[in-house]
Chains A and B, each alone.
Chain A
Amino acid sequence: MSPSPKPATAPMISVRGARRRYGGFEAVRGVDLEVHRGELVALLGTNGAGKTSLVEMIEGLAPADGGEVRVLGHDPYRERRRVIDRVGVMLQEAGFSSDLTVAETVRMWASTMTSPRPQAEALDAVALTHRADVRVASLSGGERRRLDLALAILGEPEVLFLDEPTTGLDPESRQATWRLVRSLQAAGTTVLLTTHYLDEAEALADRVAIMSGGRIVREGTVADVVAAEPATIELEARDAAGRTVVVDPEDLPPLAGLLDATVDRERVRLRTERLQEDLEAVLAWARRLELRLHHLDARSASLEQAFLALAERTAAGPAPSGTASSDAGTPAAGPNRPEVVA
């Protein structure tokens, strides 16, 4: 586990060795996780990785079959009443009474709460004020999702659980939701976010935890997780007259961090662990040979790339236990024999 950013304070969420079983199947197999005040941790994983099973335990909706789960210092399942008015939950799928209006739905939810924020403010935060008198049955999918969010933040929770909060939202609503989540976080709200959108995790998360096979297989900042994955350089070489030059990988200069090089038609793709040095070497090589590099593209790994590589790796063999920093930097595939296609 990476060092916690605020070790001085007690964690808002603390999970140690948590397990959850369904009959003979163990969906969560010993998970450790800490989330500190004001932190936003994104839980990632493929379908069936155990995210929902884990989050349900932390939300207090299901008991842990092993290990220890603490939210705000209490067992969220057995001491539910001690934490329930301090957490907000946005489930992946939850229903509304479709014959109530938006305003009636919010009023009902607020009336059950110990300390709700003003109802108008919650509706305003998710831009549903103009739909207040519309029956929930008439809302679009995205509007329902925003109403979900309005209910989750209505109690001014100290800990907020968001399960796929932007599914079904148009890009503009998504951005607005992100702004709202950021503002809540800036105000000190602790957030545990579950999402399939890796750009969402990249945009919002202080830390990500990637689950696979019921375990957290990697955890850290987006930069940490991504750093373990190689960068890529892509280019197409032309001569001074603009004619395509087919590059054989053997022709390339020595590259310090090169993992493999592939050529697809005229496009060369290099995977490297030392992006800056190798890019410099490639540029110097091109200048020396008076090549023009078309569609030059050099970039660090994305979270998506890291995630897919990790999913592939953990699906292939038994999931490593705990965090997987030991296998950082191991390429997913062996060195490919470069091939030239004219």
Chain B
Amino acid sequence: MSAAPVTPSTASTEAHAGAARRGTASRRPAAFSLRRVAALARAETLLLLRNGTALFNAVAISPLFVLFFSTISGTLGPDADPDVAGPLILQQLAAMSLLFVVYYNLTTTYVARRQELVLKRLLTGECSRPELLAAAAVPALLITAVQLVLGYAAVALLLAPPPLANPVLVVVALVLVTPTLVLLAAATSGVSRTVESAQLTTLPALAVLMVFSGVVAPAGGGGFDDVARFTPMHAVASLFRLGLTGTDADGAALALGETFAQAALPVAVLLAWLGLAWYAARRWMRWEPQR
């Protein structure tokens, strides 16, 4: 190569300039910086846009699934009540999008970045581990957000606008469940040797969380509900129902205060899962391929 090495004089000036810009040695840079997360997230977004399969999976799968479900289950049939169908479709879309776009897609992303030694490199730089996890999650979270906004618009236009009895609960559900799923994806990536094996390792959580969510499969008997209500996607579905329609599980209308009261259990369940997911990520997440 016909390199133009840094000439001593320039490099020297700049080394001093660099030291000056860095300030005193005793200053401690922040452990979590949105600037660094944004820098990595921009690269992650480019990578997603350049990977046709991953992009299709992320953008199209959940809406197609929901359309398919709604059609075969009669939610969108000729006798369907638009006031019931709309919120149900949004619950299904949230469940599918969170599970596939966030949990599944992120698990494979973390495995891929680890196996190609990108995480190892990034750890030699200024980014902290939470920043790396967050940055990789940004494209997935954006897609989920857009899917939900478009889903809401579609439901409002084509069926009936949901009453939005307590939208705060919808936001709370999303704010609590997304970091939980990001951390679960990190934990699952740690037990997945390859991107291919992540298709298997994500199955148990996908199946259990989806079935117990109660929005894609007909609810079982009393025993089913006793278990289901302690699972995160069921909690999300409950908060969506309370927030979108302001009704209880049997469809009875609730006052605003009552929606908050009924939200207590699902919020507690989500907080507990957030703690579990944090522990699992710390316990199982790996940053380098196993030697």
- A-to-B contact residues, CB < 8 Å: 59, 61, 72-73, 81-82, 84-86, 89, 91, 93-100, 104-105, 108-109, 111-115, 117, 121, 124-127, 146, 151, 153, 155-156, 158, 172-173, 176-177, 179-180, 182-184, 186-189
Starting from the known contacts A84-B29, A113-B126, A172-B1, 17 additional A-B residue pairs (CB-CB under 8 Å) come to A81-B128, A94-B118, A108-B40, A111-B36, A112-B39, A125-B4, A126-B3, A155-B18, A156-B14, A156-B18, A158-B15, A176-B1, A176-B2, A179-B3, A183-B8, A186-B12, A187-B11
Interface string of B1-42 (1 = CB under 8 A from A): 111111110011011001101100110110100011011101
A181 CA to B221 CA, complexed, in Å: 71
Of residues 124 to 143 in B, which have CB atoms within 8 Å of A's CB atoms?
A: 124-128
| A94 engages B120 (CB within 8 Å) | yes
A21 vs B12: C-alpha distance when bound (angstroms): 39
Tell me, rounded to whole Å, the shortest Cβ–Cβ distance linking B22 to chain A: 5
Whether B6 contacts A114 by the Cβ 8 Å rule is no
Name the residue in A94, A111, A124, A189 with the highest tally of chain B Cβ atoms < 10 Å from its Cβ: A94
Q: Is the CB of A115 within 8 A of B21?
A: yes
> B123 on the interface (CB 8 Å rule)?
yes
A81-B40 CB under 8 A given contacts A111-B35, A158-B19: no
Cβ–Cβ contact B1 & A127, under 8 A: yes
Whole-angstrom CA separation of A82 from B27 in the bound complex = 7
- Residue in A59, A124, A176, A188 whose beta carbon sits within 8 Å of that of B15 in the complex: A188
Interface residues on B, range: 35 or more
**A114 and B25 alpha carbons, distance in the complex (Å):** 13
Q: A204 to B127: give the CA distance in the assembly, Å.
A: 31
- Do A91 and B25 form a contact, CB below 8 Å, given A97-B116, A180-B3? no
- Interface check B117, CB cutoff 8 A: yes
- Return chain B residues, CB-CB under 8 Å to A155: 18, 126
Partner of B118, one of A95, A111, A115: A95
Interface residues of B: mostly helix, strand, loop or mixed? helix
CA distance A176 to B127 in the complex (A): 30
Q: Which 3 A-B pairs have the closest CB atoms?
A: A111-B39, A95-B117, A127-B1
Residues of B within 8 A of A189 (CB): 15
Question: In the complex, what distance in Å separates the CA atom of A189 from the CA atom of B14?
Answer: 11
Given contacts A96-B121, A114-B29, A187-B12, contact A108 B39 (CB under 8 A): yes
Q: Is B153 among interface residues, defined by CB-CB distance under 8 A?
A: no
The interface residues of chain B lying within 8 Å CB-to-CB of A100 are 43, 46-47
- Which residues from chain B contact A96 at a C-beta distance below 8 Å? 116, 118, 121
Q: What distance in Å separates the Cβ of A262 from its nearest Cβ neighbour in chain B? A: 43
In the complex, what residues of B have CB within 8 A of residue A82's CB?
A: 25-26, 28
A95 touches B36 (CB 8 A): no
> In the bound complex, do residue A85 and residue B126 qualify as a contact, i.e. CB atoms below 8 Å apart?
yes
Provide the bound-state CA to CA distance between A277 and B268, in Å: 88
- Binary contact readout B165-184 vs A (1 if CB under 8 angstroms, 0 otherwise): 00000000000000000000
- Contact at B3–A114, with CB atoms within 8 Å? no
Separation of A188 and B13 alpha carbons in the complex (Å) = 10
List chain A residues, Cβ under 8 A from B31: 81
CA distance A307 to B125 in the complex (A): 33
Min CB distance, B175 to chain A, in Å?
26
Could you say which residues of chain B place their CB within 8 Å of the CB of A81?
A: 28-29, 31, 128
Given A95-B118, A104-B43: A176 and B3 within 8 A (CB)? yes
Q: Closest residue to A87 on the B side, CB-wise?
A: B124
| Contact call A176/B29, Cβ cutoff below 8 A | no
A89 vs chain B, min Cβ distance (A): 4
Report the bound CA distance from A115 to B4 in whole Å. Answer: 22
Tell me if A97 and B43 are in contact (CB < 8 A): yes
Q: How far is the CA of A109 from the CA of B135 in the complex (A)?
A: 13
Q: Which of B97-127 contact A (CB under 8 A)?
A: 113, 116-118, 120-121, 123-127
Name the interface residues of B36-70: CB closer than 8 Å to any CB of A: 36, 38-40, 42-43, 46-47, 50-51
Distance between Cα atoms of A155 and B116 in the complex (Å): 23
Query: Nearest residue in B to A124 (C-beta to C-beta)?
Result: B4
Residue of A86, A97, A100, A176 with highest tally of chain B CB at under 10 A: A97
Docked complex Cα distance between A127 and B3 (Å): 5
Q: Could you name 10 residue pairs across A and B whose Cβ atoms are closer than 8 Å?
A: A96-B121, A99-B50, A153-B6, A156-B14, A156-B18, A172-B1, A173-B3, A176-B5, A180-B5, A188-B12
Which of A112, A179, A186, A189 gathers most chain B CB within 10 Å? Answer: A112
Assembly CA distance A112 to B125 (angstroms):
8
A91 touches B124 (CB 8 A): yes
Encoded as 1 (CB less than 8 Å from any A CB) or 0, chain B from 203 to 216 comes to 00000000000000
A61 to B120, CA, bound (A): 9
Question: Cβ of B125 and Cβ of A95 under 8 Å apart?
Answer: no
Q: How far is the CB of B57 from chain A (nearest CB, A)?
A: 16
Expressed in whole angstroms, the Cα–Cα distance for A91 and B3 within the complex equals 21
A186 to B15, CA, bound (A): 11
Evaluate contact between A127 and B14: CB separation under 8 angstroms: no
